[in-house]
C-alpha cells in the first residue's frame, strides 16, 4: 500500500468537501474492494474519506408506499438479516446473505458494491431486476441508467451514493452459481415481478456487467414457471470467457440459474 491520508467524515456534505480538497481522494465504504486494491498497489489515492460513520447513510427502512430504502453504508449482513427485507424482498435478503463470507458481509456495503460495479458482483442484478432507484448527493438514477459497463457507473467523480430504494415487489428470487475460486457470481440471475413488471437481470456473465434478458421477461409474463425460461438462452457472444469457464458455459448457467430463481420465487 502506498501512503495515504485517512479522514472520517461525519456527514455527506463534509465528505463532499473533503473529497474536493483532496488531490486524488477516494471514498471509502466497507473497504472490501478498495483496501485489497490498495494493498496490491493498484490504487493509490492521496486521501481516503470514510463514509461508514455517517449516520444518514446507514439503516434500512420500510416506507409508506411499501418500498424499502437502504442507506448506502449499510453492510450486507444487515440487509441479509433485516426482517423487513426478508418479508418484502426475500430475493434481496438471500442475495446479500450469499455475498462473500461473514467478514465481508459485516464490512462490505451496498453503496460500495454498486459504485464499484464489479461485473461479478451480486447486488447490481437485484437493483436492475427490482427497478430500484439510486439516490446520490446530487440526483436520483434508475438502475437501468446507473450501471453503464464493467466497473463503470453513471456517477460523477465527486458523487456519493446515499441510498437505494427498492419498490414493493410481488415476487423476487436470486439464484447464483459462484465462481469456484472467488465465490463471486459466475452467473447470478435475479427474477422479480412487481410494479416494474417482470424482470430478469443477470450478473457475473456479461462482458459489460449486469444485463436484462427481455426474452425471458416476456416468457415469464406469459407464464411464471421454470419451464417458461428453460428453452431460452442468451447469446454467448457478449459473455465472459476465462479459465473458470467458456462463454458457452456461462450462457448455459444463465438459463439454469434463471430456472432455479423462478422456481424459488
Ligand X SMILES: Cc1cc2nc3c(=O)[nH]c(=O)nc-3n(C[C@H](O)[C@H](O)[C@H](O)COP(=O)(O)OP(=O)(O)OC[C@H]3O[C@@H](n4cnc5c(N)ncnc54)[C@H](O)[C@@H]3O)c2cc1C
Residues that bind another protein (CB under 8 A): 1-3, 40-41, 177, 180-182, 243-246, 249, 252-253, 256
Binding segment for ligand X (CB under 6 A), chosen from 61-69, 109-117, 237-245, 248-256, is: 109-117
| Sign of the torsion formed by the C-alpha atoms of 149, 240, 201 and 89 | negative
CB of 121 to ligand X, least distance (A): 3
Copy the grid coordinates of residue 156.
460523477
Give the Å distances, CA to CA, from 237 to 36, 152, 202: 31, 20, 15
10 Å CB burial of residue 65 (0-12, 13-18, 19+) is exposed
CB of 83 to ligand X, least distance (A): 22
Pick 40 or 235: Cβ nearer another protein: 40
Our finding on whether 169 is near ligand X (CB under 6 A) is no
Which one of 129, 161, 229, 258 is in contact with ligand X (CB under 6 A)? 161
Our finding on whether 160 is near ligand X (CB under 6 A) is yes
Quote the CA–CA distance of 253 and 136 in Å, as a whole number.
Answer: 34
Q: Answer with the entry of ligand X, another protein, none that 253 interacts with (C-beta below 5 to 8 A by kind).
A: another protein
Give the Å distances, CA to CA, from 103 to 66, 75, 84, 137: 31, 10, 23, 29
Give the Å distances, CA to CA, from 265 to 2, 16, 229, 256: 46, 40, 14, 15
Copy the grid coordinates of residue 59.
439503516
Copy the grid coordinates of residue 32.
472490501
Q: Answer with the entry of another protein, ligand X, none that 30 interacts with (C-beta below 5 to 8 A by kind).
A: ligand X
HSE toward the beta carbon, residue 244, CA cutoff 13 A: 18
Pick 99 or 165: Cβ nearer ligand X: 99
Pick 171 or 250: Cβ nearer another protein: 250
For ligand X, what does the binding mask look like between residues 44 and 83, x meaning CB under 6 A? -------x--------------------x-----------
Our finding on whether 184 is near ligand X (CB under 6 A) is yes
End-to-end Cα, the chain, rounded Å:
44
Let me know: does 183 contact 100? Beta carbons within 8 Å: yes
Q: Answer with the entry of another protein, ligand X, none that 245 interacts with (C-beta below 5 to 8 A by kind).
A: another protein
User: CA nearest 128: which of 213, 12, 236?
Assistant: 213
Site residues (vs ligand X, CB under 6 A): 26-34, 36, 51, 72, 99-100, 104, 108-109, 111-113, 115-116, 118, 121-123, 155, 160-161, 183-184
Amino acid at each position: 500500500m502506498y501512503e495515504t491520508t485517512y479522514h472520517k467524515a461525519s456527514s455527506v456534505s463534509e465528505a463532499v468537501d473533503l473529497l474536493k480538497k483532496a488531490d486524488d481522494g477516494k471514498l471509502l465504504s466497507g473497504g472490501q474492494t478498495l483496501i485489497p486494491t490498495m494493498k496490491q498497489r493498484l490504487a493509490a489515492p492521496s486521501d481516503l474519506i470514510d463514509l461508514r460513520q455517517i449516520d444518514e447513510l446507514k439503516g434500512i427502512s420500510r416506507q409508506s408506499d411499501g418500498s424499502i430504502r437502504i442507506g448506502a453504508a449499510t453492510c450486507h449482513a444487515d440487509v441479509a438479516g433485516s426482517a423487513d427485507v426478508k418479508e418484502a424482498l426475500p430475493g434481496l435478503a438471500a442475495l446479500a446473505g450469499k455475498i462473500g463470507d461473514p467478514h465481508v458481509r459485516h464490512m462490505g456495503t451496498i453503496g460500495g458494491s454498486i459504485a464499484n460495479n464489479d461485473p461479478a458482483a451480486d447486488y447490481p442484478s437485484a437493483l436492475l431486476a427490482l427497478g430500484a432507484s439510486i439516490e446520490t448527493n446530487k440526483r436520483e438514477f434508475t438502475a437501468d441508467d446507473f450501471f453503464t459497463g464493467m466497473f463503470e457507473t453513471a456517477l460523477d467523480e465527486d458523487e456519493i451514493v446515499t441510498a437505494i430504494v427498492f419498490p414493493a415487489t410481488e415476487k423476487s428470487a436470486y439464484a447464483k452459481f459462484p465462481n469456484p475460486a472467488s465465490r463471486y457470481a459466475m452467473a447470478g440471475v435475479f427474477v422479480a415481478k412487481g410494479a416494474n413488471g417482470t424482470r430478469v437481470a443477470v450478473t457475473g456473465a456479461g462482458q459489460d456487467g449486469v444485463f436484462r434478458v427481455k426474452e425471458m421477461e416476456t416468457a415469464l409474463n406469459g407464464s411464471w414457471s421454470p419451464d417458461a425460461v428453460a428453452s431460452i438462452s442468451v447469446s454467448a457472444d457478449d459473455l465472459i470467457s476465462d479459465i473458470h469457464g467458456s462463454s458457452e458455459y456461462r450462457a448455459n448457467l444463465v438459463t439454469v440459474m434463471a430456472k432455479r430463481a423462478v422456481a424459488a420465487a
